[in-house]
Amino acid sequence: MTINVTMVGCTGWVGRALVQAMAGAPDLTLAAAVARSAAGQDAGTAAGGAALGVTIAASLEEALRTPSDVVVDYTKPNVVKGHVLQAVAAGRSVVVGTSGMTGEDYAEIDRAARDAGVGVVAAGNFSITATLMQRFALMAARYVADVEVIDYASAQKPDVPSGTGRELAERLSEVRLDPTSRAVDTLTGPRETRGAAVGRVQVHSVRMPGYVLSCEALFGAADERLSIRHDAGSSPTPYVAGTLLAIRKAGEVPGLRRGLDSLMEG
């Protein structure tokens, strides 16, 4: 069975790679594409490949007029939630590759998806190795009480923390032991220097030139430390295989599933 896909953000860093990957996948068809800056162009040539006969729309509303099974969003934090709810309301399953949403946002999306009977897969990072980093950190959090997260990105990344860092902190919060370190509200001096709390985990976001994307879980115990870190390069290649997996599985279960590992188990 062929899965018809609407690609939102088709000329972005990951979007271009996904358009080309779908063109070579026998079970996936690019049915519609969205990129305001490239509206009217062919999605294939705009992504740096051969023409696909799919004209890029200026908005998701316009693209949804073309039937599809799954909407993939790789856009910007300020528009992703609206896109997801719009696609769900149109009866489409969704794959969310854009970061910046909160736990409350995801809860709202889960309710809407269940009501509509469609599936939503959202991951802070669709890389297989980043998924393993998260899994190893969750294992460690069951044994080592004190953990904090540092996420690194370029100076131009607009959202803090990254989707990878936020998702990691939220999931660590669900399984971690009670910390032994001093509570932030008992400290003197600028408390902002201790980062921000995401759930029950302190998160520190570094935004500087020279960084691409990295995320690190730091664990501390008496006389020992553990660091579990993922570093990404400058290519979107690591995110393509995981996103294609999510496209193929998005419609299987109504409601929201978070994290690529939710598709890899069972």
Number of domains in the chain: 2
Q: What is the mean pLDDT of the segment spanning 91-115?
A: 94
Are 133 and 174 found together in one domain? yes
Are residues 95 and 166 both part of a single domain? no
| Tens of pLDDT, residues 25-35 | 999 999 999 99
Q: Are residues 26 and 43 in the same domain?
A: yes
Indicate if 240 and 226 belong to the same structural domain: no
CB count in 10 Å sphere of residue 142: 10
The terminus-to-terminus CA distance of the chain in angstroms comes to: 22
Conformation bin of residue 42: beta by default, left when phi > 0, alpha when psi is -120 to 50: beta
Residue 216's domain spans which residues? 128-232
Domain at 193, CATH number: 3.30.360.10
Nearest to 87 by CA among 107, 63, 105: 63
How confident is the model over 93-102, as a mean pLDDT? 92
* pLDDT tens-digit series, residues 153-210: 999 998 899 989 999 999 999 999 999 999 999 999 999 999 999 999 999 999 999 9
List pLDDT tens digits, range 215-256. 999 999 999 999 999 999 889 998 999 999 999 999 999 999
Please tell me whether residues 136 and 114 are part of one structural domain: no
pLDDT at 266: 46
Whole-number Å distance between alpha carbons of 163 and 141: 19
Average pLDDT for 123-141: 94
Instruction: Kindly list the strands in the beta sheet with 119-122, ordered across the sheet, starting from the edge strand earlier in the chain.
Output: 56-57, 28-34, 3-8, 70-73, 93-96, 119-122, 255-258
Q: Which residues contact 175 (CB under 8 A, 6 or more apart)?
A: 138, 141, 142
106 pLDDT above the threshold of 60 = yes
Tell me the CATH number at 38.
3.40.50.720
In the chain, pLDDT over 70 holds for what percent of residues? 99
Choice between 53 and 158, residue whose per-residue pLDDT is larger: 53
| Residues 7, 116 within the same domain | yes
Assign 6 to helix, strand or coil.
Answer: strand
Q: Is the domain of 140 the same as that of 67?
A: no
- The verdict on whether omega for the bond into residue 161 sits within 30 degrees of 0, i.e. cis, is yes
* pLDDT, the chain, mean: 95
Instruction: Please report the pLDDT score of residue 102 as a whole number.
Output: 86
Residues 8 and 116 in one domain: yes
Domain shared by 223 and 240, yes or no: no
Do 139 and 227 fall within a single domain? yes
The structure tokens listed for 106 are 């995801």
Compute the CA torsion angle 213, 132, 169, 250 (nearest 10 deg): 90
43 and 170 share one domain: no
Answer yes or no: do 258 and 170 share one domain: no
Q: pLDDT at residue 39 above 70?
A: yes
Average pLDDT (76-89) is 96
Confidence of residue 265 (pLDDT cuts 50, 70, 90): low
**pLDDT at residue 264, rounded to an integer:** 79
Q: How far is CA 102 from CA 28, 67, 88, 163, 193, in A?
A: 30, 29, 18, 9, 22
